[in-house]
């Protein structure tokens, strides 16, 4: 069971014994946020079953913020919403199970979208994932349907027409798997994905409707055990110039899908197995190994910018030069000083390029201290989860100046901290949006929050 955790502030009156034992409570007593912290506003989408969302956001060209709230329910699917900053209103756009044509099917629902939206020609393209799990040997597996229910039918590629407010089903992943990672080559009209738990690399051609499965490239993926287990890549990077698609493996290999040959190849002569990132056993669950965690294509340098999840190192990969350049650890200042990894076992997905086209925005954690000592959580976990109390910070990085700034810790107005933050969108006015756990009416749910403040500028 993943712990729902909030920390009031760095200055506690007392630390509950349960925390010292690694058994984390749902909510801790709130206190006034410290001076210099960033304040997060909580928005109410009205979805009481909302659970942790990974990615699932976009600041679209119409100025609105589109997002998905996920669910672990056996009967209710994930829901898609839009927030209009100009009107300060939220609108429900639809249920993803219904959008996939599976309403009333009595099957395990489309409980998640684990990917970011890609906008193209007035439509938002994305994919669905399973949200109802069974825990087997301490690891999440696709939910075993109880009596009267059908198995999970597989994740779907979807398109949402922003003008018509309609969904279009674009095909289902093979073998009843969810779609874990997705990106789009908008120029050539192709969707690409990695499925979970096995890791099939798939593509869907919008013009012909063909959905092709290229097989697996990470042993048996997260469906494996022991020597066949590999944590799967969470981010696909598209080179819009030649249509190549890049992804990584737990061993640190960089793989490339070539549009010209319609095949996947392993890049020779370069990889992600860097000493700075740490040492990992790729057959062991509970970490991302040498995979990159999140990426984006940076056109001015014709390079992929990425963050390594566990270590928090920022780096780039230039396909033409076939070279990885490691820049710096862009974690929070408290995390840098501690020299330790952050509490989220896989690292953080909230990593994106801002609207100015040069500033990276990264929502990342940091250690928490009590009476001068670092508060420790679990030593290890077999799942992607927080191992302890998270100290969420916003870090910005100016690519041209090669300069990072920790903008400070983030608190709700009542003194609680956001937790399980693995998504990000930056509005045209610089407001940062994400999806985080909040305490509402005595219950922990996930909802939209916004962070607006006088962020320090890069000079």
Which is it for the CA torsion 82, 440, 426, 276, positive or negative? negative
| CATH number of domain containing 148 | 2.120.10.80
- What is the CA 435 to chain-centroid distance, rounded? 10
Structural domain contains residue 221: yes
Q: Can you give the pLDDT at residue 13?
A: 31
Q: How many domains is the chain partitioned into structurally?
A: 1
Closest-CA residue to 3 (of 30, 29, 25, 28): 25
Upstream peptide bond of 116 is cis (omega within 30 degrees of 0) = no
Domain with 207, as residue range(s), is: 49-371+393-398
Structural domain contains residue 12: no
Structural domain contains residue 293: yes
- Which residues in the chain show pLDDT less than 70? 1-31
Q: Can you give the pLDDT at residue 137?
A: 82
- pTM of the predicted protein model: 0.92
What is the rounded distance in angstroms from the CA atom of residue 149 to the CA atom of residue 142?
14
Q: Are 39 and 98 in contact (CB under 8 A)?
A: no
Q: Can you give the pLDDT at residue 31?
A: 63
Q: Can you give the pLDDT at residue 9?
A: 32
Run of H or E including 84: strand 79-84
Structural domain contains residue 61: yes
Closest-CA residue to 50 (of 69, 36, 32, 66): 69
Q: Is 116 exposed, middle or buried (0-12, 13-18, 19+ CB in 10 A)?
A: buried
Closest-CA residue to 375 (of 1, 9, 4, 22): 22
Structural domain contains residue 180: yes
Q: Can you give the pLDDT at residue 204?
A: 98
Structural domain contains residue 25: no
What is the rounded distance in angstroms from the CA atom of residue 107 to the CA atom of residue 109?
6
Structural domain contains residue 412: no
For residue 221, what is the DSSP state? G
SS3 category, 200 = strand
Q: Is 456 exposed, middle or buried (0-12, 13-18, 19+ CB in 10 A)?
A: exposed
CA atoms within 13 Å, Cβ hemisphere of 419: 28
Structural domain contains residue 125: yes
What is the rounded distance in angstroms from the CA atom of residue 251 to the CA atom of residue 344?
20
Distances (CA, A) of 250 to 167, 217, 258, 306: 35, 10, 21, 15
Residue 353, token pair as written in the block = 């390029």
Q: Within a 10 A sphere around the Cβ of 446, how many other Cβ atoms?
A: 24
């Amino acid at each position: 069971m993943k712990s729902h955790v909030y920390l009031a502030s760095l200055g506690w009156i007392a630390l509950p014994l349960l925390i010292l034992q690694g058994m984390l409570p749902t909510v801790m007593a709130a206190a006034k946020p410290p001076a210099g912290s960033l304040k997060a506003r909580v928005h109410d989408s009205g979805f009481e079953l909302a659970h942790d969302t990974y990615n699932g956001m976009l600041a679209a060209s119409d100025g609105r913020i589109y997002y998905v709230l996920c669910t672990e329910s056996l009967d209710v699917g994930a829901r898609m919403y839009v927030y209009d900053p100009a009107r300060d209103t939220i609108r429900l756009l639809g249920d993803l199970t219904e959008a996939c044509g599976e309403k009333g099917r009595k099957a395990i629902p489309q409980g998640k979208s684990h990917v970011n939206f890609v906008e193209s020609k007035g439509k938002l393209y994305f994919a669905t994932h399973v949200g109802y799990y069974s825990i087997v040997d301490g690891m999440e597996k696709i939910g075993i349907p109880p009596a009267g229910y059908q198995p999970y039918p597989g994740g779907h590629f979807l398109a949402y027409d922003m003008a018509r407010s309609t969904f279009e089903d674009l095909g289902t992943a093979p073998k009843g798997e969810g779609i874990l990672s997705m990106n789009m080559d908008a120029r050539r009209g192709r969707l690409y994905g990695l499925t979970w738990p096995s890791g099939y690399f798939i593509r869907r051609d919008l013009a012909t409707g063909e959905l092709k499965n290229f097989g697996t490239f990470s042993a048996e993926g997260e469906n494996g055990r022991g020597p066949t287990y590999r944590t799967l890549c969470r981010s696909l990077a598209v080179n819009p110039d030649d249509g190549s698609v890049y992804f990584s493996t737990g061993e640190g290999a960089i793989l490339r899908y070539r549009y010209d040959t319609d095949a996947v190849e392993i890049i020779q002569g370069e990889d992600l197995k860097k000493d700075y990132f740490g040492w990992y056993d790729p057959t062991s669950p509970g970490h991302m190994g040498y995979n990159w965690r999140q990426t984006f294509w940076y056109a001015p340098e014709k390079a992929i910018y990425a963050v390594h999840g566990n270590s928090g190192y920022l780096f780039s990969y230039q396909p033409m030069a076939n070279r990885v350049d490691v820049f710096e650890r862009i974690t929070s200042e408290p995390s840098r000083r501690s020299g330790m990894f952050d509490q989220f076992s896989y690292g953080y997905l909230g990593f994106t390029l801002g609207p100015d086209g040069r500033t990276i925005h990264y929502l990342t954690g940091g250690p928490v201290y009590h009476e001068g000592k670092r508060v420790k959580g679990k030593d290890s976990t077999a799942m992607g989860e927080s191992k302890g109390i998270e100290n969420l910070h916003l870090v910005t990085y100016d690519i041209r100046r090669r300069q990072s700034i920790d903008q400070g810790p983030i608190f709700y107005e009542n003194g609680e901290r956001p937790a399980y933050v693995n998504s990000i969108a930056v509005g045209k006015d610089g407001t940062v949006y994400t999806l985080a756990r909040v305490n509402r009416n005595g219950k922990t749910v996930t909802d939209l929050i916004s962070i607006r403040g006088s962020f320090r500028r890069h000079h």
